Amino acid sequence: MTSYWLMKSEPGECSVDDVLAAPNATVPWFGVRNYQARNFMRDAMRVGDGVLFYHSSCAEPGIVGVARVASAPYPDPTQFDVKSPYFDAKSRREEPRWTLVDVQVLRKTRNLALPELRAHDALQDLVVLRKGNRLSITPVEARHWRILSKLLDHP
DNA sequence: GCCAACGTTGGC
DNA sequence: GCCAACGTTGGC
Pair A127, A135: CB distance under 8 Å: yes
pLDDT in tens, A107-130: 999 999 999 999 999 999 999 999
pTM: 0.94
Q: What is the CATH number of domain A4-153?
A: 3.10.590.10
Where in chain A are the domains? Answer: 4-153
Give A61 CA → B1 C1' in Å: 19
Which nucleotides in chain C lie closer than 7 A to a protein CB?
8-12
Judged by C1' against the alpha carbon of A10, the nearest nucleotide is C10
pLDDT in tens, A20-49: 999 999 999 999 999 999 999 999 999 999
Strand B closer than 7 A to residue A12 Cβ: no
pLDDT of res. A132? 87
Strand partners, A70: none
Strand C closer than 7 A to residue A57 Cβ: yes
